[in-house]
Amino acid sequence: MQRKVLVATVATAPLLAMAFGAYAETVINTARTTPIATATATSGGAADDVKVDTGGGITLTTAGPLVTLNSNNKVTLGGNGLSTVGVDNSTGVLIQGGTTGSVTNNAAISLTEDYTPTDTDSDGDLDGVFAKGANRYGVRLVGPGVFTGDIVQGSTGSITIEGNNSAGISLESGLVGNLTTGGSISVLGDNAYGVHVAAPVTGKVTINGATTATGLNATGVAIDGNVSGAFALQGSVTSTGYRYTSRPAETAIAKLDADDLLQGGPAVRIGGNVAGGVLLNGPTYSTVVDGTTTTTTTISSSTTSTATISTYGAAPALLIGSDTQAVSIGAVGAADNAYGLVAKGGISANGVYDKVTATAVQIGGATGQAATLAGGARFDSTVAASAREANATAVNLTAGANVPSIWNRGQISSASASYAGSGLTGDARGVVINAGASATSLNNSGTIQVTRTGELGDAVGVLDSAGTLTNITNSGRITAQVVAPAVKSDGTAPATAAVATGTAIALDLRASTAGVTVNQVAPTSSSATTTFPSTDTVTTATSTTTTGTPLILGNILFGSGADTLNLQAGSVLGDVAFGAGADTLSIGGGGVMLGALRDSDGQLAINIGNGSLGLTNAETINASSLTLGADSKMVFTADPSANNGAGANTRLVISGSANIASGAQIGLRLTNLLTAPTSYTVITAGSLTAGTINQDLLGGTPYLYVASSRTDTNNVYLDVRRRTAAEIGMNSAQSSAYDATFAALGKDKSIASAFLSQTTKDGLLGLYDQMMPDQGEGFYAALQNVNHAISAATAFRPDPGDRYGPDSLWIQEINTLVRRDTDDTMGSDTQAFGFVGGYEAMGDAGGALGLTLAYVSVEEHDIAAKVGEQTTGNFVQLGAYWRRAIGGWRMNVGGGGGYGWYDGDRTFNSGDLNGDGVADVQRKNSAKWNGYTFNAFAGTAYEAKFAGRYFVRPEASLDYLYLSEGERKESGGGDGFDQIVHKRKSSSLTGDVGVVFGADYGRDLWWRPEVRVGYRQLLAGEIGDTVAQYTGGGTPFTLAAANDKDGAVTLGFALRAGTPMSYLALEANAEAAKKQKRYNLKLTGRAMF
């Protein structure tokens, strides 16, 4: 049913009709199955506006348009919208050119088909085409003639199309008015378009909402006709030809068919002129810089969305250019918006699958047609490209592109990755200016970051193959990195670690012949002009704070012009190569450059004010002049192993004058071990004027060495020699191994490099101590404690009375800790834990005979040990003893022998020297060896009672221990770390005297607390010296054992208790010597029968 609605009074109707035509409209508010045209919309066949309202809708089963605007009228869609299923050559709204009116869609236009792909080959993924039908359009404008009026899809509107050679919105004839889309547009099929502007638009094109196009050559938004206004994207646009845009597992990828891997078209293609510029709308931000701290205030809109452009496949996400015609893009606005492209929203391209390139932004086509952006391009958000086994390019200017200036305030990034062992390559590229393109200025206040992960392939931040860049200013970060892949395609690590052979290039300017000036400066405060519509007044401001300085990471390669690198802030970390021409390197403002420096023709002027230059190439550098200010620092590199051991070093040969102000600092970096004192010539000049060179920087020379500088008429020298053990402050043990260890470093370049990276005493000794063998002193001391515990256990009667007999079994748990300091030897912490069991027969004359069986486990850690380093020993010992008590006297003697087996693990861990979170150098070795022991002891004591329950017991004892260890040979750490430690024998006779104070409580159930004060002294014997040598050869070295003659004060406590048939004791004591502390805890139990 349809009805006529009059919107004017009878009196005014004639006047309004004369001015505007009748304002009546034909309203469809029920389901309709026949098409309608505005020219014959009324029941009488007269022209009228058409409105699909609540409850209404049009559904057709035949080809043709559902609604035709073919008169000067309006079409407004609401209600249930327009739909067909499986109808080819159908159009939701067909607009005939030569008319005036408007089209507004606030409903759903759905031209689909009853087709769903299935898995026909049972391989786990769908098969078949995306769509079978064709020529389906949501809104289509055709000629002849132009259409005057706006075409609008509101936020509640949607267009869903399933069909090949189809489009959501297609303008095939001129439009005088604005095209605005919102809501959603989704098109599925080959050669499909979400929005296709194929004819001129006199007005503005604004894309809001979400637009997606999926299929072979499917394009999200194509502006192929000229636009007199601006093209503004304020929503999302996505294109792909893939069935799956997320990369599945490798096993699933192998099963994908060709129909799963189709290549779509660009997400956004601009192939016509756009006079008002291209705006990808988004937040506006301003910055306030205070030193190295930047506060960024971001102003976001609550009604205007942020643009996002995404493509999955080889096509560019954003393409500005044509293969058939020149393209000109006007500026978006004035001042900071005076750029043809202002990208405040994100742009991303992902190749997803192997060997598929990815390009986020491409300016220019493939045939060299001109593509000109007035003012250039400005990027405020993210521009990202990602590919596997192929090139990934963030911003690509092809032949014909003319982009005067590129200003990056956001993050431009690309990543290309390959699996280990794939044999495939790819490059990660940030900004590329191809031959035939033109860009003269690059200003980066954001981030340009490129990463190539693979055994082959390069990472290039900025590549100017056209040679048109003349000025690059960086106040942000430009980083290029090449990383070795960690896994193969099956997810496992390669048997041999992969090696990245590519090059990380921050700036490749080799094509330039006119000269390029690269300025790195501190960031400055900035503000930006909003691009939100004037009606968009609801905004939100948020602030964030970051800290950092400008950085260029990667090589800088100049061409043959007169080039300048002006570093006035932050760091340049990478090699810098100047070509021919009168070049200049200037460093000030606290700037730092670290890398190799080269100049092909020697016309380089080097000027360092308040800045630092670290030269990493040990070769001659020819330059025309050198100026080092009072606050300057320059570090040279020497490689003693270069030229078959003849050595090489950085040497500046200045054809003109070299001026070195007083206070300038010169330093030295060594890449290999220097085995003999050497004098390096680091500067030679035609004329040299030098003040007093500050020696402080030479303190940063590897701590293994002592370096000093001197000058003569035309030269500057650095004299270097190895630091002595005394100068380092080594103890006697460390000193004994110094020469042998230094020689061993030559067998392991990685360990040597770790040593050369240490510039402090603590850092050097922290590594050096890890090279030392275990001296076993703490181990021997722990065994002394164990045997003394056995001696003490056999000396005690089972109860405090005079009863003798019966036989008894007893067991004692032993815990001991020994801590030795590092004054003369390698300090250690040693723990022992074990059990001693005994059987004892007591006679009625006061004597007892017994046997003992002991098991003890000893574990020793050097104080310098890293995680995983330890020496462990396990001993079994058998012994016998005799004890006699006469009145208050007690005497005991005994002895035994044992066998032990050792396991030793020694590790080297350099720590994280390069800041990547992983230890740079790690080594681990192990060894097994055996040993045996013999012990003997004798003791006496007299216990006297006083004041009833109290007693005092003076006592004295002698303990003898002999330990023999076999030779051990380490393996697993390499010739520069593994050692052979020769046989070692140790013996000791110690005397112990003390006095015990205690009290007796109870009779049948008794207990007695005791306190003991004593003194222990070594009477004879000594710990064996440790004689070792590295397995890589060299002279054996001896680590002398500590002089253990100093006595020790002992303090103990015991709590003993028992019954006529049992006994229990808890004993603890501590011993303090000058260089050693011992702690013991024993628990003893006895049962008599």
8-state DSSP, 118: B
Examine the fold and report which residue of 532, 563, 594 is the final residue of a domain before the chain moves on. 563
Residue 41 banded pLDDT, cuts 50, 70, 90: very high
Question: Is the confidence at residue 25, as pLDDT, over 80?
Answer: yes
Residue 824 banded pLDDT, cuts 50, 70, 90: low
Quick check: is 636 in a domain?
Answer: yes
Quick check: is 101 in a domain?
Answer: no
Angle at 258 between CA 256 and CA 263, to 5 degrees: 110
Question: Is the confidence at residue 1088, as pLDDT, over 90?
Answer: no
In this predicted structure, what is the pLDDT of residue 147?
A: 98
Where would I find the beta strands (DSSP E) of 325-476? 327-329, 341-343, 346-354, 358-363, 371-373, 377-379, 382-388, 392-397, 401-402, 405-408, 411-417, 428-433, 441-444, 447-453, 459-464, 471-474
For position 826, which CATH number holds? 2.40.128.130
pLDDT tens sequence across 423-475: 889 999 999 999 999 999 999 999 999 999 999 999 999 999 999 999 999 99
pLDDT tens sequence across 532-560: 776 776 678 787 888 889 999 999 999 99
For residues 800 and 250, the model is more confident at 250
- Other beta carbons less than 10 A from residue 330's beta carbon: 22
Main-chain dihedrals φ then ψ at residue 763, nearest 5 degrees: -65, -40
Total domains in the chain come to 3
Task: Extract the tokens encoding 150.
Answer: 């706006």
In this predicted structure, what is the pLDDT of residue 800?
A: 55
669, 778: one domain: no
Alpha helices in 849-992 (DSSP H): none
Quick check: is 175 in a domain?
Answer: no
- Per-residue pLDDT, averaged over 390-414, amounts to 98
Question: Is the confidence at residue 1065, as pLDDT, over 90?
Answer: no
Residue 1045 banded pLDDT, cuts 50, 70, 90: confident
585, 528: one domain: no
Quick check: is 317 in a domain?
Answer: yes
Residue 17 banded pLDDT, cuts 50, 70, 90: very low
Question: Is the confidence at residue 835, as pLDDT, over 70?
Answer: yes
Domain span at residue 901 reads 766-1088
798, 947: one domain: yes
pLDDT tens sequence across 725-738: 999 999 888 899 99
Residue 490 banded pLDDT, cuts 50, 70, 90: confident
In this predicted structure, what is the pLDDT of residue 1089?
A: 58
pTM, two decimals, is 0.82
Quick check: is 470 in a domain?
Answer: yes
- Per-residue pLDDT, averaged over 1052-1062, amounts to 84
In this predicted structure, what is the pLDDT of residue 188?
A: 97
- Per-residue pLDDT, averaged over 28-57, amounts to 96
- Per-residue pLDDT, averaged over 242-254, amounts to 89
SS3 letters across 691-746? CCCECHHHHHCCCCEEEEEEECCCEEEEEEEECCHHHHCCCHHHHHHHHHHHHHHC
Gap between the Cα atoms of 714 and 86, Å rounded: 90
8-state DSSP, 773: P
3-state secondary structure of 222: strand
Residue 799 banded pLDDT, cuts 50, 70, 90: low
Asked whether the beta carbons of 19 and 48 are under 8 A apart, the reply is no
941, 1030: one domain: yes
- Per-residue pLDDT, averaged over 132-158, amounts to 97
557, 580: one domain: no
Residue 674 banded pLDDT, cuts 50, 70, 90: very high
| Exposed/middle/buried for residue 833 (C-beta within 10 Å: 0-12, 13-18, 19+) | middle
In this predicted structure, what is the pLDDT of residue 886?
A: 86
Gap between the Cα atoms of 115 and 162, Å rounded: 9
Quick check: is 1021 in a domain?
Answer: yes
In this predicted structure, what is the pLDDT of residue 1058?
A: 82
pLDDT tens sequence across 273-321: 999 999 999 888 777 888 888 888 777 777 788 999 999 999 999 999 9
In this predicted structure, what is the pLDDT of residue 866?
A: 58
499, 614: one domain: no
Asked which of 63-67, 557-561, 582-586, 693-697 is least confident by mean pLDDT, the reply is 693-697
8-state DSSP, 558: -
Residue 5 banded pLDDT, cuts 50, 70, 90: very low
731 Cβ neighbours under 8 A, 6+ residues apart: 822, 823, 824, 825
From the list 252, 200, 249, 264, the residue with the least C-alpha distance to 228 is: 200
- Per-residue pLDDT, averaged over 859-869, amounts to 72
Amino acid at residue number 115: Y
Gap between the Cα atoms of 81 and 58, Å rounded: 7
319, 379: one domain: yes
Examine the fold and report which residue of 662, 692, 722 is the final residue of a domain before the chain moves on. 722
Quick check: is 728 in a domain?
Answer: no
Residue 867 banded pLDDT, cuts 50, 70, 90: low
Examine the fold and report which residue of 538, 563, 588 is the final residue of a domain before the chain moves on. 563
Quick check: is 200 in a domain?
Answer: no
429, 540: one domain: yes
Residue 6 banded pLDDT, cuts 50, 70, 90: very low
819, 694: one domain: no
930, 902: one domain: yes
In order of 44, 800, 948, 1066, the CA distances from 999 in angstroms are: 128, 10, 9, 15
Question: Is the confidence at residue 9, as pLDDT, over 60?
Answer: no
Task: Extract the tokens encoding 615.
Answer: 């030269």
551, 681: one domain: no
Which range scores top for mean pLDDT: 129-133, 577-581, 1059-1063? 577-581
Q: What is the CA radius of gyration of the chain?
A: 44
In which element (H, E) is residue 13 found?
Answer: helix 13-20
For residues 30 and 1070, the model is more confident at 30
In this predicted structure, what is the pLDDT of residue 798?
A: 63
359, 277: one domain: yes
